[in-house]
Amino acid sequence: MSEALPDGWVWATLEDLLAAEPRAITDGPFGSNLKSSHYTDSGARVLRLQNVGDGEFRDERAYISLEHYENLKNHDVQAGDLILASLGEELPRVALVPDLEGPAIVKADVIRARLHPDVNSKWVLYALQAPATRAVAMSKIRGVGRPRLGLGEIRKLPIPLPPLAEQLRIVEVLEDHLSRLDAANRYIARVRQSTTSFDNTRRRELLDPWLSSTRKLKTLLASPLINGRSVPTDDDGFPVLRLTAIKNRVLDLSARKGGAWQREDATPFLVERGDFMVSRGNGSLRLVGRGALAVHDPDPVAFPDTMIRVRPNSDVVDPEFLAFVWDSQTVRRQIESAARTTAGIYKINQSILEALDIPIPPLDVQARIVEAALDHFAVVERLMEEAAMAQKRSKHLRRSLLVEAFTGSLARQDSADEPAIEILKRIEREHYSRPKSLRPRKSGPNKTTLPPPKITVVPTGTQEELAL
C-alpha cells in the first residue's frame, strides 16, 4: 500500500491488528448449527445483520438457550469487539459491541473481530467507515441483488495506523465533531417524523367521514390484478421498468432497462395511464406493498414481476384518489398485517390486495379530496426536500471529517509517541510466541489489495453549516 502517511503511521490490514488469540476474527455458525427452531425468549444473545448499523450498534434482540450457546462458544462476542456485516448495502457496515450484560454469539453473515489491546477499537471502527476503506471494499464486493464481502476480503481491508496515543487524540477530536453532526441528524429525523405525522393527520381528516363506506379492492378493478414478468437484461430489447420506478406516489417511467424480449411478448404487461403499480416484496415491512400511479401516457414500457398492476375502474374510483388512500394508515395496516416474510423479505400477493377494504366516497367527493391532497402534498414534499438537503450536507461533512481524521489532519502529532510500526511488531511477536496450534489463522498473501484512493481533503474552515 503506497499512499503516503504522516510520520509515525503505517499501513496495516484488519488482520494485522487482531488480538493474539485463536479465532480473533470469526463469522457466525452456518446451516443446522443455528436454525430458527433454536431461538428462545431469553438466554444468550444472537447478534444478526439487524444489529449492525452503519457505525452504530442497534439493540435488536434475539436469543438462544444457554445450553445451545455452550456448543457455539467459538462464535462468542464480548464488549469492545467489532461486528461487521458481510452482506447487504454499505459494506463493510460495522458497529462497536456495547456491554450486553450476558453471553452472546454472532450469526451467519456477521463477522466478529477482536482487536489487540494496543489498537483502539474506535479508531478501527471509524477507519472502516472512511471513504478510502469503503472504496477498497467496494472493489471486492461480489453479487448484485445481495452484495457480499467475504471474510477473506474483510481480513485484508487496509487500515492506516498511527501511534496509540495519537489514535486516542484523533478519536477524541473526531467524536466531538461527530457528536454535533449526530445532534443535527436527530433534529432532521424529528423534522421528518413531524412531517410524517402531519401527513397522516391530514389524510385522516380527509378520509375519516368515509371509513365506514368501504369496498373490497377486487370490486374496484377495470381488469384483474396481474403480476409482471421477469426478463433478463438486454440493452437493445423492449423496455421494462425497474422496481425503483415506484417512489413518491408517482411512477417514475424513466427508471427502466432493456429486456430480452420483443414487444409482442411484452404486450400483456404494458403500462397505461391510470395504472397503479404495487411492489410485491421488500426487506422492510414499511415499504412492502407501496404503490405509484402512472399519471402520464407512457411511451411503451412494460412492468416486471416485482410489481402487481392495479388497473382501477374509473367509473367507481378515481385513480388519483386510490393513490392517495393507498398510503393512509387504514390501508397500510391491512397490508402490513397480511404480509408474509420469507428469508427476510416481506411479500404480498394478489389475494391479499383483492381483500383490502378501501374507503370509497362518491366520485365528486373523491375529486375534492384529490384537490385538497395536491395542496397537502406540495407542503409535505417541500419539507421532505429540505430535510433531504440537510441530510446530504451532513453526510458530506461526515465524509470530510473522516478523510481529515485518517490523513492526520485532525489532531497534533507528538514525536515522543511510540511509532505505529512498533505496535505491529509487538502484535506479530505475540502471535508467533504462541504454540502453532493456537495461533490465529492468517489469510494468504494479499496480491490484489488496492492502495486507498486519493481523497480530496476539504478543510474544516470551508465546510458549510447544516441548513436546519
DSSP state of 411: S
In a domain, 158, yes or no: yes
Do residues 299 and 421 share a domain?
no
Among 326, 360, 394, which residue terminates a domain? Answer: 360
Sequence-distant (≥ 6) Cβ neighbours of residue 258 within 8 angstroms: 233, 234, 235, 236, 237, 238, 239, 240
Average pLDDT over residues 82-95: 88
| The pLDDT of residue 459 is above 50 | no
Percent of the chain with pLDDT over 70: 91
Do residues 18 and 158 share a domain?
yes
Judge whether 112 and 25 are in contact, CB under 8 Å. Answer: yes
Q: What's the domain range around 345? A: 214-360
CA-CA distance, 58 to 49, in Å (whole number)? 9
Rg of the chain in Å (alpha carbons): 27
Q: What is the pTM of this model?
A: 0.60
Do residues 422 and 339 share a domain?
no
Do residues 356 and 427 share a domain?
no
Do residues 230 and 306 share a domain?
yes
Sequence-distant (≥ 6) Cβ neighbours of residue 148 within 8 angstroms: 86, 87, 91, 141, 142
Do residues 224 and 346 share a domain?
yes
| The pLDDT of residue 389 is above 90 | no
Q: What is the pLDDT of residues 201-233, one digit of tens each?
A: 778 888 888 888 899 999 999 999 999 999 999
In a domain, 38, yes or no: yes
| The pLDDT of residue 370 is above 90 | no
Q: Which of 187, 172, 180 is closest to 126 using CA atoms? A: 172
| The pLDDT of residue 200 is above 60 | yes
In a domain, 178, yes or no: no
Do residues 156 and 16 share a domain?
yes
| The pLDDT of residue 438 is above 60 | no
Average pLDDT over residues 391-398: 80
Do residues 28 and 158 share a domain?
yes
In a domain, 29, yes or no: yes
What pLDDT does residue 70 have? 93
CA-CA distance, 87 to 85, in Å (whole number)? 6
| The pLDDT of residue 52 is above 60 | yes
* Least confident range of 150-159, 389-398, 408-417: 389-398
Q: What is the CATH number of the domain that holds 348?
A: 3.90.220.20
In a domain, 198, yes or no: no
DSSP string covering 6-41: -TT-EEEEGGGGB-SSTTSEEE---GGGS-GGGEES
What pLDDT does residue 2 have? 52
Do residues 151 and 233 share a domain?
no
C-alpha triplet 209, 215, 216: angle, nearest 5°: 140
Do residues 331 and 219 share a domain?
yes
Q: How many structural domains are present in the chain?
A: 2
What pLDDT does residue 210 have? 85
Among 360, 384, 400, which residue terminates a domain? Answer: 360
Do residues 17 and 81 share a domain?
yes
Do residues 276 and 147 share a domain?
no
In a domain, 177, yes or no: no
What pLDDT does residue 88 have? 82
In a domain, 218, yes or no: yes
Amino acid at 17: L
Dihedral Cα 88, 93, 96, 102, nearest 10 deg = 10
In a domain, 224, yes or no: yes
CA-CA distance, 129 to 284, in Å (whole number)? 24
Place of cell 510500526: 421
Among 344, 360, 376, which residue terminates a domain? Answer: 360
CA-CA distance, 423 to 432, in Å (whole number)? 14
